[in-house]
């Protein structure tokens, strides 16, 4: 029953709202349709001896974006053509014996190392082996040529039908992927800053908490990669996609603001890593200076940055103008909090120039963090006002 409830919940999400579940359903449905059409053409219309090549090709090139589907189709067709050509060259010269198979395997596997074929490189050897089997079972020279050529034709049919189905049925336009990736990254940063603000405010900067901050920083670094992948998916969903011409989507076709924001937040993540390491050494090195006021000021500064990250974590292109204005307001508050950090360091005469103590690093990283968050706010506001 639990499994059934999970399935119903998953199907409910797919039906009610766009997202991963709906995208999965669409991709499975389109793959099933394209493969069925390819099988019908290859088996029923052409009466091909190896009709499975067509539906296999249709499914293999089906991708989340049309741009990637086109590239997969080109690379897969090239890989199969090369594999069949290798078999044809060796087969007609040496013949279908064991030594010929060895030559085909070695040559195809070597060509399969060619980076230009991307992830379809392994298909060179696969196509060569299938072609060898087809070649060996044919009885006449004309039949051998016909069977080898048929493999390439079936691949072209499968790829063509896969592209047509992907293009005509709900072609994916994943501009929300860039937004979602930025949201996830900002959420990770918000979580880290929230815990830092709490720990600094209470003076709880022990080894255990510092370790927790380091792990949160590592999670944020992984989120940077996810954000860049989402941005790449969004950009790749535009080429060859007719939906980008519709008026409803024209305002979502530029991703420069997301790129600039991800770049700035990536730098902020690395600076937070340096900051957490310095804070972890704070207790170990401090024995003379009174640092409670500086800790409190730093806690307020971290909290102000957390508030900005919270807004970015809920970013929505439809309400970007209002959110950008709110982020700029919060950035002004964060600038004031930064000045209090600098003032606390001066009032307590902290040794900022002492390389053996963490104070200088803390102040420098605070300034750099503010710069990156300000850059993010300005970038989003400029594009919202454009």
Kindly report, residue by residue over 135-170, the tens digit of the pLDDT: 888 778 888 888 889 999 999 999 999 999 988 887
Query: 110-118 — which CB contacts under 8 Å span 24+ positions?
Result: 111/82, 111/83, 111/86, 112/79, 116/75, 117/75, 117/78, 117/79, 118/71, 118/75
Torsion of the alpha carbons at 44, 45, 48 and 50, rounded to the nearest 10: -50
Which of the four pLDDT bands, split at 50, 70 and 90, describes residue 257?
confident
C-alpha angle 228/232/237, rounded to 5°? 150
Which of the four pLDDT bands, split at 50, 70 and 90, describes residue 238?
confident
**Between these two residues, 124 and 253, which has the higher pLDDT value?**
124
Q: Exposed (0-12), middle (13-18) or buried (19+): which is 16, by Cβ within 10 Å?
A: exposed
What's 79's DSSP letter? H
At 82, list the tokens. 């090369």
Nearest to 105 by CA among 87, 120, 79: 87
Residue 96 pLDDT exceeds 60: yes
At 288, list the tokens. 């003379």
DSSP string over 216-272: HHHHHHHHHHHHHHHHHHHHHTSTT-GGGGSGGGGGG---HHHHHHHHHHHHHHHHH
191-219 pLDDT, tens digit per residue, is 988 888 888 777 666 777 777 888 888 88
Question: What is the pLDDT at residue 275?
Answer: 75
Give Cα 294 distance to the centre of its chain: 39
User: What whole-number percentage of the chain has pLDDT above 90?
Assistant: 24
Question: What is the pLDDT at residue 20?
Answer: 64
Which of the four pLDDT bands, split at 50, 70 and 90, describes residue 110?
very high
Mean pLDDT for 12-17 is: 68
Q: Which residue matches tokens 């940077």?
A: 224
Question: What is the pLDDT at residue 289?
Answer: 46
Mean pLDDT of the chain: 81
DSSP string over 15-63: HHS-SHHHHHHHHHHHHHHHHHHHHIIIIIIS--SSTTHHHHHHHHT--
Question: What is the pLDDT at residue 298?
Answer: 82
Measured in degrees and rounded to the nearest 5, phi and psi for residue 47 equal 55, 45
Question: What is the pLDDT at residue 249?
Answer: 47
Question: What is the pLDDT at residue 139?
Answer: 78
Residue 23 neighbours by CB distance under 10 Å? 16
What radius of gyration do the chain's Cα atoms show?
29
At 13, list the tokens. 């999400």
Alpha-helical segments (H) within the chain: 2-16, 20-39, 53-60, 66-94, 98-111, 122-137, 141-168, 175-202, 207-236, 256-285, 292-313, 320-347, 359-385
Question: What is the pLDDT at residue 356?
Answer: 53
Mean pLDDT for 45-58 is: 90
Question: What is the pLDDT at residue 350?
Answer: 62
Question: What is the pLDDT at residue 59?
Answer: 93
pTM: 0.65
Are 334 and 301 in contact by the 8 Å Cβ rule? The answer is yes
**Between these two residues, 271 and 352, which has the higher pLDDT value?**
271
Question: What is the pLDDT at residue 227?
Answer: 86
**Between these two residues, 100 and 291, which has the higher pLDDT value?**
100
Residue 284 pLDDT exceeds 70: no
Question: What is the pLDDT at residue 248?
Answer: 47
15-43 pLDDT, tens digit per residue, is 765 556 777 888 899 999 999 999 999 99
């Amino acid at each position: 029953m639990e499994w059934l409830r999970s399935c119903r919940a998953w199907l409910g999400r797919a039906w009610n709202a766009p997202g991963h579940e709906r995208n999965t359903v669409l991709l499975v449905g389109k793959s099933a349709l394209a493969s069925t059409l390819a099988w019908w053409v290859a088996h029923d219309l052409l009466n091909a001896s190896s009709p499975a090549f067509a539906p296999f090709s249709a499914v293999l090139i089906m991708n989340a974006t049309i741009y990637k589907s086109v590239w997969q189709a080109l690379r897969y067709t090239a890989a199969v053509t090369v594999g069949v050509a290798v078999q044809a060259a060796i087969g007609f010269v040496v013949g279908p014996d064991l030594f010929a198979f060895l030559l085909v395997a070695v040559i195809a596997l070597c060509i399969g190392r060619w980076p230009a074929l991307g992830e379809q490189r392994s298909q060179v050897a696969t196509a060569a082996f299938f072609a060898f089997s087809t070649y060996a079972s044919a009885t006449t020279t004309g039949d051998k040529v016909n069977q080898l050529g048929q493999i390439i034709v079936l691949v072209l049919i499968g790829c063509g039908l896969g592209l047509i189905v992907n293009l005509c049925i709900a072609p994916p336009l994943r501009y929300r992927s860039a937004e979602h990736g930025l949201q996830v990254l900002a959420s990770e940063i918000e979580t880290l800053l929230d815990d830092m603000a709490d720990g600094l405010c209470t003076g709880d900067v022990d080894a255990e908490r510092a370790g927790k901050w380091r792990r949160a920083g590592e999670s944020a670094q992984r989120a940077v990669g996810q954000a860049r992948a989402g941005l790449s998916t969004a950009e790749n969903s535009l080429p060859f996609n007719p939906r980008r011409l519709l008026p409803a989507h024209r305002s979502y076709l530029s991703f420069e603001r997301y790129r600039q924001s991800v770049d700035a937040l990536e730098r902020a993540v690395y600076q937070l890593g340096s900051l957490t390491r310095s804070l972890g050494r704070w207790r170990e090195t401090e024995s003379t200076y009174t640092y409670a006021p500086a800790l409190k000021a730093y806690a307020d500064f971290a909290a102000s940055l957390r508030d900005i990250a919270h807004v970015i974590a809920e970013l929505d292109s439809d309400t970007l103008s209002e959110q950008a204005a709110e982020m700029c307001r919060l950035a002004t508050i964060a600038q004031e909090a930064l000045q209090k950090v600098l003032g606390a360091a001066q009032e307590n005469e902290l040794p900022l120039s002492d390389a053996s103590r963490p104070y200088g690093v803390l102040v420098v990283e605070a300034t750099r963090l503010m710069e990156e968050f300000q850059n993010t706010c300005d970038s989003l506001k400029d594009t919202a006002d454009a």
